[in-house]
């Protein structure tokens, strides 16, 4: 992290001018571009953010600090303003320790004053990609430690996440409440049926990976027997992911773990109605990428994590485009497409196409059973 020292004779002013400071919108785009580049090349980078909030009334000091930082940067480093007013610096191919050292050299004790800063590291180590872990992400607003401990470095993913628009949250709440009101008798009947037909609770809770890689508790009607071996599903789905095969369910081959009538609940997606409570809590949306299991995320490549940039949903492009007939890569590309193109019109279109997609799955299931019966005859 060698750079040019600041002098008082003005000879370095052209260098400062050449290293422009981008506006917040442009800089956000550049940060995302660097993330995509790092994903492709399997490399790392850091983002240094200098807190200039306390210098609002000291323009000269702000300029001095900005110039001092710019003069220490490399030609391929990138600077710009953050949404919170801080000055950000993208440091490609830089470790957390290297970024921290640069920050200390430039922003450490200056005339008896110490400037506040944060160092974000990418790739993040807490997201369960390639690790099989289920730890949630630390708070990205936390300041970097004074000891440059990479294990405590704040992580970047929240900077790439797409905040849920007001219209989307409003749509989620209104539609969820309406559906819950209309289907409340069905909730009661299904819960009673499950309790009668199979010992155990009516609802099934499971950890899923959601927005920003955070793990949350996912709820649905229980359609499987209590105490079944989850390794059966894990081995099945992991094999499908690794060989990029269609993500067909074990249901299609006859799964003995499913309770009587459970296939109907699953084919009609009635078992997923309790996820409306996840939607009301803000953990899920009506439309978005399907929240995956931690051991599924452990099989993802780094660029696959872009599907975590938006709140996961009950339905989405994957569900209306073939669902389990599609491979992992096809699903990921659809999820990333939705994350980039999210709009009210797209959400309404997906919701409208979800019912026909469910009816099509039910028709296919009936056809398979009839063909099986005829084959036996």
Whether residue 9 is predicted with pLDDT greater than 50 in this model: the reply is no
pLDDT of residue 182: 95
* pLDDT for the residue numbered 145: 34
Q: For tokens 């109605």, what's the residue?
A: 273
Q: Which of 158, 157, 177 is nearest to 286 (CA)?
A: 177
Query: Per the structure block, which two tokens stand in for 51?
Result: 């807190």
Structure tokens at 56: 């609002």
Average pLDDT (129-140) is: 34
DSSP string, 7-73: -SSSTTHHHHHHS-EE-HHHHHHHHHHHHHHHHHHT--EEEEEE--GGGTT-HHHHHHHHHHHHTTS
pLDDT at position 236 is 83
DSSP letter at 271 equals: G
> 209 in helix, strand or coil?
strand
Segment (H or E) for 315? strand 313-315
Residue 274: the pLDDT is 96
The model's confidence at residue 14, banded by pLDDT at 50, 70 and 90, is: very low
Does position 350 have pLDDT exceeding 90, yes or no?
yes
Nearest to 211 by CA among 164, 176, 167, 168: 164
Going by the DSSP 8-state scheme, the letter that residue 131 receives in this structure is: S
CB-based contacts of 169, cutoff 8 Å, min separation 6: 282
Per-residue confidence (pLDDT) for residue 109, from 0 to 100? 58
Name the average pLDDT for the chain. 79
13-160 belongs to CATH 1.10.287.180 = no
Q: Other C-beta atoms within 10 Å of 317: how many?
A: 23
pLDDT in tens, 178-200: 999 999 999 999 999 999 999 99
DSSP string computed for 164-197: PPHHHHHHHHHHHHHHHHHHHHHHHHHHHHHHHH
pLDDT at 364: 79
DSSP β-bridge partners for residue 122: 45
What per-residue confidence (pLDDT) applies to 374?
Answer: 54
**Confidence band of 343 (pLDDT split at 50, 70, 90):** very high
pLDDT at 141 over 90: no
Domain boundaries, the chain: 13-160, 166-376
């Amino acid at each position: 992290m060698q750079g040019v020292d600041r002098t008082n004779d003005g000879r370095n002013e052209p260098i400062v001018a050449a290293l422009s400071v981008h506006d917040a919108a442009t800089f956000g785009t550049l940060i995302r571009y660097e993330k995509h580049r790092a994903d492709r090349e399997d490399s790392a980078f850091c983002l240094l953010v200098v807190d200039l909030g306390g210098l609002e009334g000291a323009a000269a000091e702000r300029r001095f600090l900005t110039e001092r930082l710019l003069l220490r940067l490399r030609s391929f480093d990138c600077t710009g303003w953050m949404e919170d007013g801080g000055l950000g610096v993208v440091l490609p191919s830089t470790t957390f320790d290297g970024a921290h050292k640069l920050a200390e050299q430039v922003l450490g004790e200056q005339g008896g004053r110490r400037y506040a800063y944060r160092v974000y590291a990418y790739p993040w180590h807490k997201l369960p990609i390639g690790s099989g872990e289920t730890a949630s992400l630390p708070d990205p607003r936390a300041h970097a430690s004074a000891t440059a401990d990479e294990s405590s470095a704040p992580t970047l993913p929240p900077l790439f996440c797409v905040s849920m628009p007001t219209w989307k949250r409003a749509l989620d709440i209104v539609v969820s409440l309406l559906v819950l009101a209309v289907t409340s008798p069905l909730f009661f009947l299904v819960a009673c049926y499950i309790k009668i037909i199979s010992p155990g609770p009516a609802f099934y809770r499971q950890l899923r990976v959601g927005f920003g890689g955070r793990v949350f508790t996912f709820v649905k009607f229980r359609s499987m027997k209590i105490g079944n071996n989850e390794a059966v599903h894990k081995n099945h789905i992991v094999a499908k992911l690794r060989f990029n095969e269609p993500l067909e369910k074990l249901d299609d081959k006859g799964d003995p773990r499913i309770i009587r009538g459970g296939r109907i609940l699953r084919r009609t997606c009635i078992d997923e109605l309790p996820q409306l409570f996840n939607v009301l809590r803000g953990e899920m949306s009506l439309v978005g990428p399907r929240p995956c299991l931690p051991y599924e995320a452990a099989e993802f490549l780094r660029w696959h994590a872009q599907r975590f940039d938006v709140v996961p949903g009950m339905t989405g492009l994957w569900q209306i485009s073939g669902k389990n007939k599609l491979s992992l890569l096809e699903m990921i590309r659809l999820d990333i497409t939705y994350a980039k193109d999210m709009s009210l019109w797209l959400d309404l279109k997906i919701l409208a196409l979800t019912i026909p997609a469910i009816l099509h799955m039910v028709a296919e299931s009936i056809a398979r059973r009839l063909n099986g019966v005829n084959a036996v005859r």
